[in-house]
């Protein structure tokens, strides 16, 4: 079996898509909460709160999805995690290009993309470590 067949692309793309949906969902929840609190300007796109949200949620959400996928694949868990982060970054980039007149993204969004890949690698590594634990016999 070739290496290409061992990558579970359906899991990778699905997890990356769901990661981006969740990251955007967190942003809109923060925006809604700020609006209801009467201070929508603190959560507008590219505000400090948005930048922090992009950085933290990009890492955490992709980490959790990579851990989830890592439980479902037989091998290459770290690779699967990295690919989830890469595909998630690509999905956001496509959405950015489709909705803005510029190809250039703000620096903090580029850093968030790197954190997506790092989160995926860390999630895959933890899944790999958990898979290698010896099972307790009773």
Rounded Cα gap, residues 9 and 53, in angstroms: 28
Strand blocks (E) in the chain: none
Distance of alpha carbon 100 from alpha carbon 121, whole angstroms = 30
**Domain-embedded: residue 67:** yes
At residue 137, the pLDDT reads 58
137 within domain boundaries = no
In a domain, 127, yes or no: yes
Q: Residue 62 domain-assigned?
A: yes
Backbone angles phi, psi at 3, to 5 degrees: -60, -30
Give the model's pLDDT for residue 1: 45
pLDDT at position 125: 96
Report the pLDDT value the prediction gives residue 136, as an integer from 0 to 100.
60
pTM: 0.88
Task: Count CB neighbours of 134 within 10 A.
Answer: 5
Look at phi and psi of residue 33 and say left if phi exceeds 0, alpha if psi is from -120 to 50, else beta: alpha
Distance CA 93, CA 14 (A): 17
Is 56 inside a domain boundary?
yes
What does the pLDDT profile of the chain (138 residues) look like in tens digits?
454 458 899 999 999 999 999 999 999 998 899 889 998 888 788 888 889 999 999 999 999 999 999 999 988 999 999 999 999 999 999 999 999 988 899 899 999 999 999 999 999 999 999 988 877 655
Owning domain of residue 52: 3-132
Q: Taking the CB of residue 130, how many other CB atoms lie within 10 A of it?
A: 12
Residue 138 lies in a domain: no
Tell me how many domains the chain contains. 1
Indicate the length of the chain as a whole number. 138
């Amino acid at each position: 079996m070739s290496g290409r067949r061992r990558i579970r692309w359906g899991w990778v793309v699905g997890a990356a898509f769901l990661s981006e949906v969740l990251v955007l969902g967190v942003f809109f929840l923060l925006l809604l909460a700020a609006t209801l609190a009467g201070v929508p300007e603190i959560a507008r796109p590219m505000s400090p709160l948005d930048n922090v949200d992009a950085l933290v949620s990009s890492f955490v959400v992709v980490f959790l999805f990579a851990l989830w996928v890592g439980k479902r694949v037989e091998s290459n868990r770290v690779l699967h995690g990295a690919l989830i982060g890469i595909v998630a970054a690509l999905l956001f980039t496509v959405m950015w290009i489709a909705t803005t007149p510029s190809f250039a993204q703000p620096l903090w969004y580029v850093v968030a993309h790197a954190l997506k890949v790092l989160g995926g690698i860390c999630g895959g590594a933890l899944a790999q470590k958990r898979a290698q634990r010896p099972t307790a016999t009773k």
